[in-house]
Amino acid sequence: MQYYQRLLHAKLSSKRSWNKVRIIFGPRQVGKTMLLKNILSEKDSIFYNLQDSVLRRRLERDPSIFTRELSALPSNITNVFVDEIQKVPSLLDEVQFLYDNDKTRFQFYLTGSSARKLRGYSANLLPGRSHVYYLYPVTLMEEYGRKALLGQFENKPGRLFPKTSLTDKLLLGNLPGVRLENEETAFETLSAYVDNYVEEEIRKEALVRNTASFNVFLQLAALESGKQVNLTKLSQESGIAVSTIKNYYQVLNDTFLGYWIYSYRKSQRKRLTTTPAFYFFDLGVRNATAEIRLNKNMLAELGGYLLEHLVGLELIQRAGYLGRGYNVSFWRTVSGAEVDFIFETPDEDIPIEVKWTEAPSTKHIRNIEKFIDLYPERAFRGYLVCRIPKPQQLSERVLAIPFENL
């Protein structure tokens, strides 16, 4: 299968994490295994795929087999790749033992599509011994390869993902494999993804007790994705207790199926709404989970919501790659003024509005200007993301841009 360059490639293959256990988290099908198999050489690596039921049962019965097998390897085998580590969390003890015994003997690479069991087993995930990374669906940087407008990284040379249209991104999302399929098979793949994820990650891992109620919640959560969460409303519509819904959202977060976005917290100059919003990690998966077979004709009605969701995901994932000091929030006052996203960096906070318009004007940026006026010590510029072919300067401080230029 063709390999396309990922933003994590340079970090994982550099010396910055040398002699640290590298843990790479991310939902299923974002390309964790493909990434590591293109970083590591077969001649000096050993691969443990814990989705292999025979191997998994053998290590579950006796985790120390892992240590004994690695101790018997020739000295030229230096890389150890364990895929889906959460399936046998007791292997963390073996990794810690081997690491503490000799920090230079092996370079460990662990992947996981759920942190829930790992946190329960080893709350701090090898404290002081590991570097933790997150892999997301395909981002604009991996598609266009240019320096980001928001952020300070530039993708290393390598094969870029094929470009997809804005319409395809809104309907089918950005999972690497799905992007390469035609529309008909992509919808089927996304539906199967949802079914298999619930079956394999939720039921088999026993993350919830009642999978029937979880399935009801899952569809409602997908329909509400990108909005501030109203637990009481969800409880009334589903018949599920509020406390259970809170736990279900935690399951989604722990299995990387979604992210929380919180209200902007750096000033109390205005009374702000504080209820967080929850975003499914990929629009295609969100659409399939909501059991909505979207088509291009529906964009006239839903395009604005989907575009806002897409921008939110791009910003969240970009902040995740940039690391500490970067964050995404929203700004909404109790009086009704709002800005869709605030991209927070160590140096500034950038207000970003999203509009489903091909004719941007100053009326679309009033709240961006208001935000900049209220927070002059942190906000100096803003952006309006809309459906225009090229950027337009709408005011001295605000630029309108197409999504691809974000």
What does the pLDDT read at residue 121?
63
CA dist list (Å): 387 to 59, 142, 179, 390, 404: 53, 21, 21, 9, 10
Do the domain assignments include residue 194? yes
Task: Work out the percent of the chain whose per-residue pLDDT is above 70.
Answer: 93
**Cα–Cα dist 134/8, whole Å:** 8
What is the pLDDT confidence band of residue 269, given thresholds at 50, 70 and 90?
low
- 211 & 121 share domain: no
> Identity (one letter) of the amino acid at 97?
F
What does the pLDDT read at residue 124?
56
What is the pLDDT confidence band of residue 120, given thresholds at 50, 70 and 90?
low
Q: The whole model's pTM is what? A: 0.93
Do the domain assignments include residue 392? yes
Q: What's the burial of 162, exposed, middle or buried (CB within 10 Å: 0-12/13-18/19+)?
A: exposed
Mean pLDDT over each residue of the chain, to the nearest integer? 90
- 128 & 143 share domain: no
Greater model confidence, 199 or 248: 248
**Cα–Cα dist 355/342, whole Å:** 15
- 103 & 182 share domain: no
DSSP per-residue codes, 281-337: S-HHHHHHHTT----GGGHHHHHHHHHHHHHHHHHHHHHHHH-TT-EEEEEEBTTS-
CB atoms within 10 A of CB 276: 15
Q: Which residues contact 322 (CB under 8 A, 6 or more apart)?
A: 151, 152, 153, 345
CATH number at residue 22: 3.40.50.300
What does the pLDDT read at residue 158?
77
- 262 & 287 share domain: yes
What does the pLDDT read at residue 274?
80
- 125 & 166 share domain: no
Which of 209, 353, 338, 359 lies closest to 273 in space, CA to CA?
Answer: 338
What does the pLDDT read at residue 254?
87
Total count of domains within the chain:
2
Is the alpha carbon torsion for 59, 64, 67, 68 positive or negative?
negative
Token pair, residue 62, equals 């006796």
- 146 & 126 share domain: no
Using DSSP, state whether 254 is helix, strand or coil.
helix
- 128 & 167 share domain: no
Of 86, 116, 135, the one marking the end of a domain is 135
**Cα–Cα dist 283/303, whole Å:** 12
Each residue of 305-361: pLDDT tens digit? 999 999 999 999 999 999 989 999 999 988 888 999 999 999 999 999 999 999 999
Q: How many CA atoms lie within 13 A of 79 on its CB side?
A: 19
Do the domain assignments include residue 2? no
Each residue of 210-256: pLDDT tens digit? 778 888 899 999 999 999 999 999 999 999 999 999 988 988 898 89
CA dist list (Å): 186 to 91, 169, 298: 36, 12, 18
Mean pLDDT over 116-120 rounds to 72
Token pair, residue 43, equals 């001649």
What does the pLDDT read at residue 204?
63
